[in-house]
Amino acid sequence: MPSLLPPRAAVLTVSALLLSTVLAGCGDDAQGEDVTRQELSWKACPAPDEAQGGGASPSPLPDDGEWQCATMKAPLDWGDPKGDTIGLELIRVRTTGAENERIGSLIFNFGGPGGSGVASLPAFAEGYAKLRTRYDLVSFDPRGVGRSDPVICENDQQLDAYFQQDGTPDDAAERTRLLDSTTEFNDACEQNSGKILPHVRTTDAARDLDLMRQVLGDGKLHYFGISYGTELGGVYAHLFPQRVGRAVFDAVVDPTQNAEQSSLGQAKGFQLALDNFAEDCVSKAEECPIGDSTQDVKDRIARLLDDLDRKPIEGIFPRQLTQTAATSGILQALYSKDLWEFLTDGLEEAYDGNGSTLMFLSDTMNGRSENGEYDNSAAAFTAISCADAKPRYDAAYVERRLPEFRAASPLFGDSLAWGMTGCTDWAVAGAAEHPDVSAPGAAPILVVGNTGDPATPYEGARAMANALGKGVGVELTYRGQGHGAYDSKNKCVQSAVNGYLLDGKVPPAGTVCT
């Protein structure tokens, strides 16, 4: 996840930690229709399709709560609200509480941009059981994602090559191959999905959220945004401040940063997470199997990546583990402290010539299933990010900026810097330097920052709270590790979030949870 990693460093949403119906498309049959008056037809959910990541239909929750899915019509172009429509896929499970205690629907966006909420919500719903006592839990595939008129770029075979090739060029030839590969990917997006590309900006998704609120029958939008979902929620609050209900932002995007600043912040954030991982390994009572000291752990990882740049090792047959794939796998594991032991195992294996675990982590980050099929998260990430962000960075600019990125992260700086070229040849102009989230008059929004968050560094929470405006953004700090706070199961964090969403109790600004 946002997960705002550049495409070749891979895409991660919260749902990326998860290990065919006809796609809703654009049509002319609904021209002139007032989509705010539509009634949703809820049915049993089908199995996720390839664009959503595949797998089985969502199982009932332990209390026999059944998952229901529906397709909501939305204007393709919000500038022409009675023109062509697209279908947005929704999922819900009804509240466990009494009807007279029901507040409404609580809509989740789990991040990305590009993550399928329809696939993610069932995977994480048990962790939100307390919230379900007063809300229907709802999520959705944003436009361009999953079943919601997905952006399609390259095929599975092409994506295998795209994610394997060298993302940190050392000479002119490697740089040309990298830039050519990016151009080919972007051209494929335009060729296969040109009609939807101008209409996947976060402002479009925010208007979809307001339509969803109306169609679900809620007077206010009750919302839980994670990672990129906090940016989406902030844009919604800016556009519709009087319609904000109870809202929580967790793993908070810094809305004051442009794409370069965000990438540099991630370089620092992931370096911090790597430092914490290495320190944790060597501090355990038993011997750390991947280094004798914190610096030794990091030095050995750096040597591994250098070796892989020259000679890949066996990965998951028939693919080899390249430097790029290994870097993606390490980044994936740094999103959550729960994966640190897995990362240790993967590094230990790689030092012995077996790259399968690191490649599995890389595949998870890139949205590749075991059968070799990719979801559309990489394509959607690129389309949404490039439509949102106005700056375009060429190779010469990146090369000038490399020293600062390397200073921020000797291990990840090059990869994150070169990822900035992902939008250079994009077919749609970017909307703005950064999103506007100012929301005077909105209800309080609880903004939760994690001091050890690698993907959305902690400083973003304060920036978001300040940008939302006085009396709107209420900052809460969690002194922990990993991407996000609520899912850490920290009792202090969950008590504060639940207290606001369920009972309307806003915690004091500046509350700290440890």
pLDDT tens, residue by residue, 58-71: 999 999 999 999 99
Express each pLDDT in 359-388 by its tens digit: 999 999 999 999 999 999 999 999 999 999
- What is residue 194's predicted lDDT score, i.e. its pLDDT? 97
Express each pLDDT in 397-440 by its tens digit: 999 999 999 999 999 999 999 999 999 999 999 999 999 999 99
Given a cut of 80, whether residue 1 has pLDDT beyond it is no
Express each pLDDT in 32-47 by its tens digit: 679 999 999 999 999 9
What is the dihedral sign for C-alpha 486, 266, 356, 20? positive
Beta-bridged to residue 88, according to DSSP, are 72
Given a cut of 60, whether residue 11 has pLDDT beyond it is no
- The alpha carbon torsion through 115, 118, 123, 125 (nearest 10 deg) reads 110
List helix spans (H) across 171-244: 172-193, 202-216, 228-239
Q: Do residues 115 and 344 lie in contact, with contact meaning Cβ atoms separated by under 8 Å?
A: no
Q: Could you tell me the two tokens for 145?
A: 């994602």
Distance, CA of 331 to CA of 263 (rounded, Å): 13
Identify the DSSP state of 147: T
Catalytic residue among 199, 238, 434, 483: 483
CA angle 483, 449, 3 (to 5 degrees): 40
Q: What is the mean pLDDT of residues 130-147?
A: 98
Q: Is 495 helix (H, G, I), strand (E, B) or coil?
A: helix
DSSP labels, 243-254: GEEEEEEES---
Beta-bridged to residue 489, according to DSSP, are none
Q: Do residues 42 and 398 lie in contact, with contact meaning Cβ atoms separated by under 8 Å?
A: no
Distance, CA of 230 to CA of 467 (rounded, Å): 12
Query: Does an H or E element contain 281, and which?
Result: helix 259-283
Express each pLDDT in 469-510 by its tens digit: 999 999 999 999 999 999 999 999 999 999 999 999 999 999
Beta pairing, strands 320-321 & 313-314: antiparallel
Distance, CA of 393 to CA of 314 (rounded, Å): 34
Instruction: Provide the residue type at 27 as one letter.
Output: G
How many C-beta atoms surround the C-beta of residue 401 within 10 A?
Answer: 18
Q: Do residues 384 and 144 lie in contact, with contact meaning Cβ atoms separated by under 8 Å?
A: yes
Q: What is the mean pLDDT of residues 444-456?
A: 97
Q: Is 483 a catalytic residue?
A: yes
First to last CA, the chain: 24
Catalytic residue among 385, 453, 487, 488: 453
Q: Could you tell me the two tokens for 481?
A: 């590790």
Q: Could you tell me the two tokens for 31?
A: 């021209």
Distance, CA of 161 to CA of 472 (rounded, Å): 46
Express each pLDDT in 213-268 by its tens digit: 999 999 999 999 999 999 999 999 999 999 999 999 999 999 999 999 999 999 99
Q: What integer best gives the mean pLDDT of the chain?
A: 94
Q: Is 187 a catalytic residue?
A: no
Tokens 């049915």: give the residue.
43
Distance, CA of 73 to CA of 482 (rounded, Å): 36
Query: Does an H or E element contain 74, and which?
Result: strand 68-75
At a CB cut-off of 8 Å and minimum separation 6, what does 104 contact?
Answer: 135, 136, 216, 217, 218, 219, 220, 222, 245
Q: Is 227 a catalytic residue?
A: yes
Beta pairing, strands 445-452 & 473-481: parallel
Catalytic residue among 105, 116, 139, 227: 227
Distance, CA of 391 to CA of 397 (rounded, Å): 12
Q: Is 283 helix (H, G, I), strand (E, B) or coil?
A: helix
- What is residue 12's predicted lDDT score, i.e. its pLDDT? 40
Distance, CA of 305 to CA of 156 (rounded, Å): 25
Express each pLDDT in 76-128 by its tens digit: 999 999 899 999 999 999 999 999 999 999 999 999 999 999 999 999 999 99
Q: Is 355 helix (H, G, I), strand (E, B) or coil?
A: coil
Q: Could you tell me the two tokens for 327?
A: 């870097």
- What is residue 31's predicted lDDT score, i.e. its pLDDT? 53
Residue-level length of the chain = 514
- What is residue 33's predicted lDDT score, i.e. its pLDDT? 77
Q: Could you tell me the two tokens for 419?
A: 């990822």
Under the banding of pLDDT at 50, 70 and 90, the label for residue 286 is confident
Nearest alpha carbon to residue 277 among 301, 304, 246, 243? 301
DSSP labels, 375-406: -SHHHHHHHHHHHHB-----HHHHHHHHHHHH
Identify the DSSP state of 442: P
